[in-house]
Amino acid sequence: MLAVAFAAAVLVFFGAGATVDAASLAYVFVDHLSTPAPPSRARPGVAAAAVRDAVITASLERDVLVLAAPEMRGRQRGTEENARARAYIVERLRSAGLAPLFDGSFEQPTYVDATDGAAPVRYATNVGAVFRAAHADTDWIVLVAHYDHLGVIDGTIHPGADDNASSVALLLALGDALGRVRPRLNRHVVLLFPDAEERPNIRTERMGSSWFWTHLPLPAERLHLAIVLDLMGGRGSPELEAAGLANALFVLGAEGGRALATFTRGLPSTDGVEPVFLSLPMIEAMPYVPNRRFARSDYHGLREQVGRPFLFLSTGRTETYHTARDTPETLDYAKLGRVTRWVAVLAMQAADADGRLDWRDLTADPRADADALLRMSAAVVTSPRFSWPLRRALAADRRMVEDLRRRWDAGEPPTLDTYRALQLASTRLQAAQWWPGGWYFALW
């Protein structure tokens, strides 16, 4: 009974929502991330360097302070405060000199079907802008950061500074830089701010992004790359700092294609940002729920409906995640500034580079994932922040991953069962970082 109750609690904590049954999740194992990385470019392209250098990082904190202010009351979908946040974003995009994305409007209403067979009901409102390339009939990239949050729960405001005002501020800073530099690009650059990402909408067709991916303003086949951002401003945990990962930016999804991995891993380095590459399945597993995956952000509909290359970026879940303590003063703005410049280079290189990117669903690189997990867990087994049962479970996980890595190095191929074990070890580590006092995470 305790295990069953714990499973139910985990599903609530991590936002189960609707799940995707992927026919037993028969992952294809690749080496796109575990082979030696290509040489990094010594310097970014002209457009990437210009936009990066035009980023004014001082705007990041100002925007977060507005979006996560107490009077915004958590920006929950359908509220007056959500509309005020939306109006603020639209005005920022307009003042940056970007064009409206949706037939002359910065706003895209979304709808859900009425249960009584009546006309669809308006549900949420996405915001979008575009910086157009030199030629109208060309490909496009999109950067995505949802702007809604949880609102007020039991009388307590959940401000949502890291989740996801930090990412919104990053895109607004990028939009400002694009408007100042106005580079000549090969591809259009779209900035999208979906609504209705938080529960109970996550992983459902009610998500604003799900509506966007099925009502695209530009041709789906011309989508070169999507870059989805969530939780971009949190401070690294003491354990990550001890492991030398205080400046980590987790990059997921590059395993989906060799060209995508080569492009992303070969980006010019940015001082103070360390990309840590992980396969997306490493954050999508749940204990007690095998053969299913749980998308963590607005890439859900993109993956299911469009099937184009994408990356998911995050600095990781912190202890303030989905709590009233997710306030502007908890963010690391210096790190957010460095990450913003890195994302600017990523986006501009994607908007200007030659060639096409490949992508395949249900792909993972177990060796790279094991190496990243070992690095991230280096300091957790001795951390006094974790209860003894959880610390013991994390230590056992680490020994298991070390054993898997030795066996794979010796020639034993990864299997779906061993990869599932790796995923659950990753899930426990994520849970521990989010809630160090959660001794019950030791139970699976």
Residue 216, pLDDT score: 98
Q: Given the structure tokens 């290359």, which residue do they identify?
A: 309
**Half-sphere exposure of residue 262: CA atoms within 13 angstroms, side-chain side:** 10
Does 24 share its domain with 63?
A: no
* pLDDT score of 119: 87
Identify whether residues 349 and 256 lie together within a single domain: yes
- 146 phi, psi to nearest 5 deg: -70, 150
Nearest to 233 by CA among 346, 343, 318, 342: 318
Residue among 122, 123, 86, 120 at smallest CA distance from 105: 86
- CA 406 to centroid of chain Cα atoms: 31
Same domain, residue pair 7 and 104? no
Omega before residue 200 within 30° of 0, cis: yes
Residue 74's nearest CA partner among 198, 252, 215 is 198
431, part of any domain: yes
User: pLDDT for 293-313, tens place per residue?
Assistant: 999 999 999 999 999 999 999
Do 165 and 266 lie in a common domain?
yes
Helix, strand and coil in the chain, % to nearest 5: 45, 15, 40
Name, in order, each residue with C-beta under 8 angstroms of 95's C-beta and a sequence gap of 6 or more: none
Q: How many domains does the chain have?
A: 2
Task: Assess if residue 418 is contained within a domain.
Answer: yes
389 and 283 belong to one structural domain: no
Query: Which of 359, 377, 406 is a domain's end point?
Result: 359
Give residues with Cβ within 8 angstroms of 265, minimum separation 6: 33, 37, 38, 40, 254, 275, 277
CA dist., res. 50 & res. 344, Å (int): 10
Is 39 inside any structural domain? Answer: no
Decide if 166 is inside a domain.
yes
389 and 334, same structural domain? no
Asked whether the CA dihedral 78, 81, 87, 89 is positive or negative, the reply is negative
Residue 195 lies in a domain: yes
| 253 and 380 together in one domain | no
Shared domain check, 73 and 18: no
Look up residue 352 and give its amino acid.
Answer: D
Task: State the residue range of the domain holding 252.
Answer: 46-359
- Answer whether residue 35 is part of any domain: no
One domain for residues 22 and 108: no
- How far is residue 7 from each of residues 4, 20, 150, 322, measured CA to CA in Å? 5, 18, 23, 19
- Polymer length of the chain: 444
Separation of alpha carbons 57 and 51, rounded Å: 12
Whether residue 420 is found in the same domain as residue 342 = no
Number of CB atoms found within 10 A of residue 192's CB:
25
CB of 268 closer than 8 Å to CB of 345:
yes
Shared-domain flag, residues 297 and 252? yes
Among 359, 382, 415, identify where a domain stops: 359
Rounded to the nearest 10 degrees, the angle between the axes of helix 58-67 and helix 80-95 is 160
98 and 22 share one domain: no
Q: Give the pair of three-digit tokens for residue 256.
A: 């989906």
The pLDDT of residue 15 is 54
Residue 36 in domain: no
Q: Which one-letter DSSP state was computed for residue 151? A: E
In our burial notation (b when 16+ CB lie closer than 10 A, e otherwise), range 152-189 reads eeeeebbbbbbbbbbbbbbbbbbbbbbbebebebbbbb
Domain boundary among 297, 324, 359: 359
Q: What is the pLDDT of residue 389?
A: 94
Alpha-carbon gap, residue 254 to 33, rounded angstroms: 8
Per-residue pLDDT of the chain (444 residues; tens, 9 = 90+): 344 334 444 544 455 544 444 456 899 999 999 999 888 777 899 999 999 999 999 999 999 999 999 999 999 999 999 999 999 999 999 999 999 999 999 999 999 987 777 889 999 999 999 999 999 999 999 999 999 999 999 999 999 999 999 999 999 999 999 999 999 999 999 999 999 999 999 999 999 999 999 999 999 999 999 999 999 999 999 999 999 999 999 999 999 999 999 999 999 988 899 999 999 999 999 999 999 999 999 999 999 999 999 999 999 999 999 999 999 999 999 999 999 999 999 999 999 999 999 999 999 999 999 999 999 999 988 899 999 999 999 999 999 999 999 999 999 999 999 999 999 999 999 999 999 999 999 998
Encoded tokens for 289: 């729920």
Look up the CATH number of the domain holding residue 333: 3.40.630.10
Residue 37 inside a domain? The answer is: no
| Rounded-to-10 torsion of CA 66, 273, 421, 37 | 140
The number of angstroms, rounded, from the C-alpha of 433 to the middle of its chain's C-alpha atoms is 17
